[in-house]
Amino acid sequence: QVSEEFNKTYQLFCGNMPPDPAFQYGIVDYAYNPAFDEPIRSKCVAYKKENEPCLPKLEYGEFGPMWPYRDDSLPYDVYSQGFVCAPGLKCSSDSAAVPNTCIPDSADESTWFDTEETVVRKEHESCDEDSEDPKYVCEDGLVCTSGDYYVLPNTCVQPRPKDICYYGSWWNSNACPKVENNEPGLNWTLAFGAMQRFMILFPSELTNSGQWSYWCPEQATETPYLKTQLEQSHDILYNILKALFPMELFPDETFPTKEELLLSVIGEEFYVITEDCSRNANDILESGTLEGEELASILARAAVYANEPNQIWSLIHFMTYNLPENISEKQVEASKALSTYLSQQFWCSDCRALYTKIIDVVTGPPDEATGDAQAQYWQLAHNLASEHVAATVGGFPLTYGINDQRIIPGEGRYSGQEVRSLQNHFYMLPEVAEAMWRVIPYDCDKEEDSEGRQNRRRAIRRAERRRARRGD
């Protein structure tokens, strides 16, 4: 029994989540509210230069830059991006021909961008390539981000190439499915491996696949609801897999059971040693015996599976890009459930906070019952998440941000370059992602060609921006 005062305090600082202990109402809900989860620190950022993207609401006035904290349209990493034009410049409005761009104070934005000639933009400068008649285009080797890419819209960036994974200090990318298989999609071995990682998604603060309590939760007496939470988690994840996985690509294979997937992660030897969890696993580990060392090795191998997010993204794209042209309501609901699950149950807390912000802004997977609509949502979500990781090395922007225009001093290897030049490439074009993951082509008689789909998406984005400007 928890007091009413505890409930009030808990909801104030943690959002409307079930109170402790062990979040007994259903599966654990650890979706941190970013407004509460972000640390408050100060950080110096450079002004934006002429032609670079900006936010008109972030103007430097008598009291410094004023951050509209409650505006959901702001980028997640607004602090690391800066988005404030340098003195002598102002930010064009949302309704300008090239919106949200630093231009001279004396410029009239209604005519400033008028031109009959094509204007070539450099990296980090604004572009309008998703407009009906683009005039500001990126130079060769760069691509223009889409208007719905809210962390860095309509900006020339270096594209992320296909079939690679980036190493990072917070995750393990040694096993990268698309490095091992350059053909579209995944083969059965890689898909099965990705499903193994998918099945053990669970908040690491509670437990993870490298701890005995994950496999013998009934022994974790300090968290009496852990067994129920894990069972519910496994059921949800397995049902999502069954709804979305394209088994028609593997006619010679049988879809694994939930038990087979989980056992393939930990191995039968774990249950042989623990006698199906009838022996106390923690006592075995602390016994100093060869048996204890073997159990520790088994758990260490299983722990690796819970630190490979590239496997999760690979599986998501493989499943959604290979959905049929018209999908069932059950598949739409499974895609939505997957998005919700990542925001509440992913391994790390700030990963969940970031993803919760993403689905808040882009409103989660669409209701549209087409495979293309679901695949495009997940591609946009991954691009947004990749920008955050590239700009912050996976942590909070104020603490770890490298999306910085300052020049690296000294005489070292990177001296004289901007800090942000060291970022990973984070923006993959939708058509590149589609070529990377889609194995099942749509019926050409029923579905538009690639250029048609791209034009349709651009028209949708333009209409959405027009509605937003009118306040519809």
pLDDT digits (tens, 9 = 90+) for 188-210: 999 999 999 999 999 988 899 99
What mean pLDDT do residues 318-332 have?
95
How far apart CA 398 and CA 79 sit, in angstroms, is 7
Classify each residue of 45-79 as buried b or exposed e, where b means 16 or more C-beta atoms within 10 Å of its C-beta: bebbeebbbbbbbbeeeeeebeeeeeeeebbbbbb
Report how far residue 83's alpha carbon sits from residue 75's, in angstroms, rounded to the nearest whole number: 10
The pLDDT, as a whole number, for residue 402 is: 62
pLDDT on residue 176? 87
What average pLDDT score do residues 77-100 get? Answer: 79
Q: Tokens for 83, please give them.
A: 């988005």
Task: Give me the pLDDT at residue 28, please.
Answer: 32
> Mean pLDDT of all residues in the chain?
80
pLDDT in tens, 357-412: 777 777 788 999 999 999 999 999 999 888 877 776 666 555 556 667 778 888 88
Q: What is the pLDDT of residues 406-459, one digit of tens each?
A: 788 888 888 888 877 878 899 999 999 999 999 987 654 344 454 545 554 544
| Residue 64 pLDDT class (50, 70, 90 cuts) | low
- Assign 105 a pLDDT band (cuts: 50, 70, 90): very high
User: What is the DSSP secondary-structure string of 354-367?
Assistant: HHHHHHHHH-SS-S
- What does the pLDDT read at residue 8? 55
Does residue 13 surpass a pLDDT of 50? no
pLDDT score at 463: 41
